[in-house]
Amino acid sequence: MTLTFMDSYTLWRSLPFPSGGSHKGLKMTYADLTEADEYVTTVIRFVERGIFKPVPVDVPAMLEELMQRIDRLGETASDGDQAVARSQHAYAALLDLVYRQFLEAGGPHEQRNRLPRYRPNRVGALRQGRPSQGPSGFLRRALRCV
């Protein structure tokens, strides 16, 4: 049994956002997950208004890289942070499923293949070549103070 697009969308919209944990690396993945979640919100516009407008970033590649980082951090984290890592990974996997299904449901094959290639920056954040001006930049600064 697989989740339909609307099933995965409904599940994503009803789930609470995972926590950041106490490990510095998981706080960074939390911030990156926030940025990815912001990109995936374009799906809401598609479901509610029928507007198909993919973001100009390869979201599935971003999420794949993020899930790999979360897995590596979870291997060495404390018990409490391992639960946080599992929660972040599950949320990222759901975002990936929702966004891939959105691409399949909304547009022609050519439109999906025109996304720019994802390249992580030097700290592994989900930006493409320039600092984020969105909420994740704010979250990163706030998390550094903690």
Query: What is the per-residue pLDDT across 36-68, written as a single tens digit (0 to 9) for each?
Result: 999 999 999 999 999 999 999 999 999 999 999
For residues 15 and 10, what is the distance between their CA atoms, to the nearest angstrom? Answer: 9
| pLDDT above 60 (res 145) | no
Query: What is the per-residue pLDDT across 100-134, written as a single tens digit (0 to 9) for each?
Result: 999 999 876 434 444 444 445 444 444 444 444 44
For residues 140 and 67, what is the distance between their CA atoms, to the nearest angstrom? Answer: 18
Cβ neighbours of residue 51 under 8 Å, at least 6 residues apart? 45
Terminal CA-to-CA distance of the chain, rounded, Å?
42
The residue-averaged pLDDT of 5-33 equals: 95
| pLDDT above 60 (res 138) | no
Cβ neighbours of residue 99 under 8 Å, at least 6 residues apart? 39, 40, 43, 59, 60, 63
Task: Give the pLDDT of residue 1.
Answer: 72
Q: Is the pTM higher than 0.75? A: no
